[in-house]
Structure formats: C-alpha cells, structure tokens
Structure 1
C-alpha cells in the first residue's frame, strides 16, 4: 500500500461495498488445512509439546515445509514464500540436539519463523522483491536475525513483499514483486493482501510457520495483518534494530512481529528487541524497554483503562461501524472507560511525510548498497535496470517514486530538514500525544483499515485508507488485532499509544483478543489467479 495518503483516498470509501459484496460471492475451496496437525497452534503449545517429547523441531519444520508446498506453491497458490532456507532442516536438527542435551534457549527454541525478503539472513538472498537484487546474498545476518537465532528460532525462509516496500509507484499493486509475483489473500484469493509485508501476513494466516517478521514504514505491518486476520505489531522506532534491513526511511522504518495471537507476537518481539551499536536509534531504549513482553500479558488489562476511539470517515463507514461498535462495547464491558475523540492534526503531516520518504529512501538505499556490496550501487542504477528489464519489472506499473527520490536533494536540504521536523511534530507531540493528553487516555483505538479489495494489476490499489499513519510518522507503536469480519473479509482493531508504550499496548490488545476470539482461519475462497 502507498506510504502516503491524500484526500482522494476518502473518495474510495464507497467502493468498499463492492469489495464486501464480491467477498460474499466467493466459492469456498476444499479445506486441505483440516488435516494439518499444527493449524492455528500457538508457540506456547508447540513448545509444551516439545517439552513433553510429543514433538520436535525437525518434525515441525518438515510439516511447515510440506504445507508451504501444498498451499503456497500449489493448491491455492498463495505466493507468500519466495525462498526456503536451505539450512532450515539442519537448524531444526541442531535445536533438537540442544534440547536432548538439556539446553533450551527460550520460548522460541525450535520454532520455524519466516522473514520478509528485505531482512538479511544467510545463506539466503535479500531482494526487496527486485530482480536487480535477485543474485544478492548478504554475507551476514541482520541484527534481529542474529537475535532470533540466539533465541533458538529456526529461520524457515523468506516471504514475498510489495517490491521496494511499495515505494516504487503511486499506482503499484500491494503484494506484487517481480521476484515473487502477486501474493494472494487466503480469505478471498482474488482480493489483495495489503502490503508491503504481504507474504509474512498471508503465511501466518495460512499456518505456514509459527510466526513471521515484517517491516513497516507506514502501515506495512498493521494493514496486511488486519486484512489477513492476524496480529501485527509495529514497535516504537528504535526498539528493534534496522541493521541488515533494506531501508526506506530511517525516521520511520522498523521491523515487527506478525503472528496469530498477541501472545505469540509478544514472544517474537522479546527475542528481536535489543540495543545495537549499528543502529543509533536503539540507543534510546536502555532503561525504558521491557523485553519479556509475554510475561506482562494478563486477561484484565482493560479494567480501569481509558481508551479513546477515533471516529472518522473510515471508522464511520456503514460496513465497518457495526464491527467497531461491537469492539467498543467489548472494551467497556471489560472495565475500560471509552471516550469518543478525533485525532488532532489528522493527516496534516502527509505532504511533509512524502518529502521525508523521498530524501531518506535515496540516502538510505544508496548507503545500504555501498555497505553491503550489492550488485547495483545507486538508485539510478536500479531505475536503469528496470528500464532494461521492463517486460518483467514495469509490466504493471511504473517507477515514478524511484525517479522522484533520485531527483530529490541531500539530507542537508533545508526543505527536507523542515519537513522531517514538521511531520514528527504534527503526528507525535501535537497529534497522538495531544489527543492522549486531552482526555487522559492510555491508548487510542480505531479500525486499522478497510477490508481487502480486489487485486487489479495495472490499476493500482483500491485502497480504502487506514488509521495508522500518525503512529508511523511519529515513530510510535501500533498493534492490529482481529476485530471481526465484513462478509467474510477480516477487519482489524488498531491500538496506538505514545512512544515506548509497547508493553502497555500488547497488554490491552491481549485482553481484548481473549475476550473476543475474533480470528477465524482462512477459507481459501476461490477466485481468478493473478499473474
């Protein structure tokens, strides 16, 4: 999905009804997942089975690999996984040997995890979906991958994404890359999975791994989480290192967990988070971060909380309003005080955000190219590569944003410096913080986004906007939890808070999730197969 929003997005809201109706008309496909023994199984339960000797990592890894072959590369052809780690079986066997020797590294020990294909992990490629990087293999793991491996996780493979994290063209289609093709929504195969962490969300929804890691600059974790019926958490920028991740914006980029439950997301986040000298943003975390997020979860976190529910054109849409109203009723029944409010400065940062992204994308990407010795060495080289391979790279949409970024100024440009300061101020201190302060709120909630839309390669996204832009621009945390469905298409409830409120949002989201149990497994409803 695009990283910036304009008033034109609001004009798309009436199109939601057509998307809902087409979702209703899908024909359910046979359910191969019914015989899968680990469908919807959480990390704690998988770990308990391993502790009891009923399961080992090798068996679990083989099961997920078989399911990927059945559902992702054949059957519904989800196209969420673009590469299998050739060392996955060996890693699983090592974790099993450690367990037999009495060494269990933690709750992720032996758990197969997928990574978005902009996160470096040896010995696999790291492409950002671009053919220009199809032969690029980083020489070392990204810092967060080092952390996951230290925690005992098995790196299962890489997931598809919107090419260049969806910062290529205003008319791009979410979930499409030249490397991986078009990822399909498992609830309605001809609908879109949102992006840019499309493959990670779809793979988790379809139980192709225990959990996955995505990245977000503006909506790229929480939007695909919402439309694929899973949990997605975007941490405070600086909680998780960006070292080894192909960048878009150092002001807004972060990796985050994508899972079927808040508890699983909390376990994954705890393993990923940590100070890293290679990422100065993580220097803000000592003394403020809580890495054992799973231990903080309990079922009564909403009692006594003050929650602000955001009302706007998206939340008030007739197809979304009843589901959101039910969510608000659940919050109140759990003991929360709910205040209806509107976000101060809503979308006032959008123009400045685009200026920031154009400048930071160029600077960050070219630095990555130099430091990691990639096959291309500049943004101009990427643009030239795409033109030379237009039949595959430019078949459905152009590269206008790449060209705008190439032509942007340096990070010393006064226009960039002013835009960065304005965007963060309007979204953060004068946006989310001001709204929280006005009514003494613990968190804000809203519909994460509209439901999935029909995929139409060449026509851009029929994207119905979202409520996560302020948290993204401010660098604050946001959490999307399954809220319900509209004609079979999932909707998410977004929790947002101030900087470093990560643990609190997870507590609130976990309690809400336990009360509603709104997640349903995907149906793989039939539809046309996109290219």
Structure 2
C-alpha cells in the first residue's frame, strides 16, 4: 500500500525548505540552481570522514549534499521503487545547510559532523517536527524541543534532513516496517521483503543512500535487526549509555537509542557524539564520558582475539548458517581463536521469560509519562490511543489489528508493573542473566560472543508474496533478546548475502561497557568480510 498523502507532505516540505532558503540573502540562487549532476563529489557510498573532507576542501557544500539527498529521495523513495523510508522532510533543512556553508567560511575548526545531514526515526523528537512513532493518531504531536541524542549531533553541526518510518509504536506484530502514518517501508535489496523493525525507515534510508547515517532506537532488536537485513551496521549499546529523553518509549527497562551507519568507523563516530550522561534520563547518569570509540579503532585487530561461537540460535535458514560458518573461517584466518560456547535452549526463550512480561507491564506507564511531559497529542492515554486507532480501520491508513491487540494487552498488564513477578524479573532475573553471561565469557576467556544477528534473512512484506523466502525459526529475532535482556552491548556488521541477494548480519556481543572492544572486533572483521556495503544494490 502506498500512502500518497505522506508523499505529498514530503514534496510540500521540500518546496517549503527551498522557499525558506530563498527568503535569505545569498541563498535564493543556490537553492534553486544547484546542479548536482555536475557535483565533483559523489556522496553515494562515502563515509562520514570522506564527506567531511569534501566539505572542508570545498569539493562540495552542505547545500549540494542536501540537494543530492533530496533528489535521491524523490527518485527512489517517492518514485521508482518507492522505498517509502522517509516520512517527513525537515522544512528548514536548506536554510540550515546555507548557514552551515556560511559558517564554514569563518575558517574555524569544526566538528567532523559539521554540515552533514542525517535522518531520525519517527519516535525521536526533532523540534518543530511531528513525533508520530508511526501512528496516524499522533500526527499532530509536534515536538517542542530536540531529543538529547538529536541535540548532541546538532551541537556538533549536523543537520536533520528528514524523519523515517518505523513499525508502529516500535512493535511490529508481524507487519515489519509498517505504520498507519507512513505506510509500508520496503527493503532496498528486494522490494517484496521488509526492512525488519522497528527502525525500519532509518535502515532502509541509509542502505538506499538517502543519508549517510541515521538515528534509531532498540528495545528487542530494533536497530540490530534492520541493520542485519539491509547490509548496514547497527549497534545496541550497553543499557544506560545513550539518552532516551525526548523519545516515545516502548519499555523503559530495555530501550536504548542508537545509530545505523554504512561502516563500523561511522558507527564509532556517531556513538562518540551521542553516548554520555543526560540529566533528563536517570539511566544514563553513569554513562561513559570519554568514549574515544573512533580513536580506539586504530588498534583494531582480530589477531590474538578469542571469540565465543554460539550455535544455539542456528537452524532457521541454511544459507544464514553457511554464512556464519564462512565467517568463522575468515575470523580464524585473521588470527582469532574460536571457542565453542554451549548456551542451553533457555536462551532462545528470553522473550517469554523476560522481555514480554516486563514490556507488557511497562508500556502504559512509559507512554503516558511521555505524553504528560513531552507530548502534544490528544491520545494522552493508551486507552485513547486504542480508541483512535480503531477508528482508522476503514480508512486508507489503518493500524495493524495485531498492534491494537498489543495495546489492549498492555492495558490489561499495566497493573502488573509493580507486581512481584515484574519486579523479580527486573531486579533478580535480569541481573542474574547478565552475571551468568559475563561469567561464561570470563570462564572461557573470550572477548566477545559471536552469532548471526538473525536466524533468517528479511521476511516477506505483510502485503506481498515471495515464495523464495525460507525460514524454519519460530522467532528469527531470538538472538537479539540476549543483549537486550542482559543489558549487554551488541553490534551487527554485514557478513554476506543469500542466493536472493539478501544481506546477512553477524553479531559481536560483549560484557557491559565493552563497546570499544566490540567496535574494534567488528571493524577488523569488516575489513576481511567478503561482503561490502552496497554490493548488489540496484534501485534504477
């Protein structure tokens, strides 16, 4: 289903951005006449450092970059394959690009992000833009300020280009990458497949070259899954390392914010910018302040590394399993020692034993707290969200019926938030799981655990058919629940493709606060991986 209303909104926003820029002295001509076909610098496939260098040398400008990405969005998101990753264009983006270009003339030293556009998931506040979390019901929820992670990037000179689609209220319920506000996002590698969820639009946008990087959020795999199936890099940091202030929540006990990038180096750069304490989010008060993630990559190597190979999540798809075996061979060739880690079957059931009960119990309190302090929607309560969502059933913007049932389960479970069961899971079972995993790593003297990010490749869109899809797993996302439930960091990096050209991701998971180690291992593997970002992507 293609939502032409959303497309019209995007085109109006692009026009508004150009008009706003034209109103400023010196901006009108360049806003209307930037000829991106004659750009000396081609941003496609370039890293953040390469883009920053081109800006610094004068090889390109921020206005040219913005024009390039807007043109690409018009060609491939609104037209052509209609990826449908972008929901809103920042109406001030051309003005902000103009100001960046003007500011660069002062010859001062600027951040590496200065003048570089990025995209933001729909549940993350951007001042003056609507924060819908993918819900048509919340389309008037205009943000009064920027989420902390957005503001940190803006403070370094980055420019919000657009907002991206997501699974509605960060839970897919079988319709991955679908929302009543934005419609269905497609996987750029196969338009019949979805881009996973819930950071679907951010992953699809980065993979399709609509922006060099983007922000997302991860509860049970919402950054890692989309990264895995779109051939991009996504990392879930240790719980409490990135702020959730200004983000519509799903589950306070598991939510983190993060980034989707084209390379591990880019991931490290973005995390350097957004990781850190925030008084607006008590979970972050002990967050790392001196990250130096990108600098630490200079020592990245697999030689001498000890990696724990986890096979309990295998068996969903033979090509994923074969890619995992091939990755192990590459790791060994690069000098890593592989150690088999035998986790029992209980690790495949962490959704039912930990994440499901806690998430169901927390959502009502978390959502209504956000709406009380930050929201501008008439759906202040989850019951109001349910009623207004049901009213969309016979429109061209319906809410996934299973998502509504999920809300209803949340309402029924809200009274359990302070129950002995929920508190026992949060304060006893989860810390015990963390301790068990970390002690297993210590006992086996391994730097990280390694396994496929997902046991299957991208699934078929809920509104499409594709008989080539094979998956024998009851839950292809089961591996993602380990890091979420134990508050551990995990990074997904491209490892290969299946016979249908669908990307397959490899995960490195470590002890709490081991982001530097994981980024180094992922960067070293990235160099030897036979899969290069963007290989096989054809949008024309």
Contact 1:423 1:474 (8 Å CA) reproduced: no
The aligned runs of 1:161-240 (5 Å cut-off) are 161-166=166-171, 170=173, 172-240=174-242
Q: Distance in 1 between matches of 2:492 and 2:145?
A: 31
The aligned runs of 1:485-524 (5 Å cut-off) are 485-487=497-499, 488-516=501-529, 518-521=531-534, 523=536
Correspondence 1:452 to 2:458? yes
For 2:141, the equivalent position in structure 1 comes to 136
Query: In the alignment, which of 408, 433, 439 is matched to residue 403 of structure 1?
Result: 408
Correspondence 1:471 to 2:476? no
Contact 2:350 2:478 (8 Å CA) reproduced: no
Q: Deviations over 1:275-294 (max 9, x none)?
A: 11110111122xx4542211
For 2:11, the equivalent position in structure 1 comes to none
For 2:380, the equivalent position in structure 1 comes to 377
For 2:296, the equivalent position in structure 1 comes to 296
Query: In the alignment, which of 410, 420, 429 is matched to residue 426 of structure 2?
Result: 420
Q: Distance in 2 between matches of 1:154 and 1:395?
A: 33
| TM-score (structure 1 length as normaliser) | 0.87
For 1:56, the equivalent position in structure 2 comes to 61
SS of alignment partner, residue 348 of structure 2: coil
Contact 1:160 1:180 (8 Å CA) reproduced: yes
Query: Which one scores higher on RCO, CA 8 angstroms, separation ≥ 6?
Result: 1
Q: Distance in 1 between matches of 2:326 and 2:282?
A: 42
Q: Distance in 2 between matches of 1:493 and 1:91?
A: 37
For 2:77, the equivalent position in structure 1 comes to 72
Contact 2:313 2:451 (8 Å CA) reproduced: no
Aligned-CA RMSD value: 2.2
The aligned runs of 1:263-278 (5 Å cut-off) are 263-278=265-280
Q: Which moved more, 1:450-459 or 1:396-405?
A: 450-459
How many corresponding residue pairs? 487
For 2:21, the equivalent position in structure 1 comes to none
Point out where structure 1 has 5 or more consecutive residues left out of the alignment: 1-31
Contact 1:276 1:283 (8 Å CA) reproduced: yes
Q: Deviations over 1:159-213 (max 9, x none)?
A: 000001016xx4x310000011000001110011100000000000011101011
From the superposition, tell whether residues 116 and 268 of structure 1 become closer, same or farther in structure 2 (CA, over 3 Å): same
Correspondence 1:41 to 2:43? no
- What is the Cα deviation at residue 522 of structure 1? 6.2
Contact 2:77 2:83 (8 Å CA) reproduced: yes
- What is the Cα deviation at residue 466 of structure 1? 4.2
Point out where structure 2 has 5 or more consecutive residues left out of the alignment: 1-36
Contact 1:252 1:474 (8 Å CA) reproduced: no
For 1:95, the equivalent position in structure 2 comes to 100
Contact 1:130 1:179 (8 Å CA) reproduced: yes
Contact 1:349 1:426 (8 Å CA) reproduced: no
Correspondence 1:340 to 2:352? no
Contact 1:314 1:465 (8 Å CA) reproduced: no
- What is the Cα deviation at residue 395 of structure 1? 5.8
Contact 1:223 1:448 (8 Å CA) reproduced: yes
- What is the Cα deviation at residue 241 of structure 1? 0.5
Q: Distance in 1 between matches of 2:61 and 2:335?
A: 41
SS of alignment partner, residue 296 of structure 1: helix
For 1:106, the equivalent position in structure 2 comes to 111
Q: Which moved more, 1:130-139 or 1:96-105?
A: 96-105
Q: Distance in 1 between matches of 2:359 and 2:535?
A: 34
Q: Distance in 2 between matches of 1:68 and 1:335?
A: 42
Correspondence 1:440 to 2:445? yes
From the superposition, tell whether residues 236 and 370 of structure 1 become closer, same or farther in structure 2 (CA, over 3 Å): same
For 2:286, the equivalent position in structure 1 comes to 284
- What is the Cα deviation at residue 353 of structure 1? 1.7
| TM-score (structure 2 length as normaliser) | 0.86
Q: Deviations over 1:435-457 (max 9, x none)?
A: 31231111011011121121124
SS of alignment partner, residue 61 of structure 1: helix
Q: Distance in 2 between matches of 1:39 and 1:97?
A: 24
